[in-house]
């Protein structure tokens, strides 16, 4: 995959995640599907790990089994944010 494809995939991931409403979550798999790459759930995680933009609520992306998963600002903070928003 070239730089242009990587960039467009990142932009698609961020666009999908921006649309997750407060109090709701999507799984990494669901984000990958909505980006048009249904087998790229791990790549979604890699993209979100690089996000430090507060306008992109990457804490709302969780594992398919319902557990919160990782977060680049700490898994405890992610869980607290999700509880405060009513998603957990």
Give the Cα separation of 14 and 50 in Å (integer).
Answer: 11
Catalytic residue among 10, 35, 58, 80: 58
Task: For residue 64, give the H/E element and its range.
Answer: none
Establish whether 58 is a catalytic residue: yes
Residues 14, 48: Cα–Cα separation, whole Å: 8
Q: Which residues are catalytic?
A: 58
């Amino acid at each position: 995959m070239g730089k242009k494809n990587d960039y467009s995939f990142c932009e698609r991931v961020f666009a999908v995640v921006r649309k997750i409403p407060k109090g709701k979550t999507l799984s990494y798999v669901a984000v990958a599907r909505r980006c048009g790459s249904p087998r790229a759930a791990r790549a979604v995680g890699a993209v979100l790990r690089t996000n430090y933009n507060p306008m992109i609520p990457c804490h709302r992306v969780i594992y398919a089994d319902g557990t919160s998963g990782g977060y680049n600002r700490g898994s405890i903070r992610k869980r607290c944010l999700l509880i405060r928003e009513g998603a957990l």
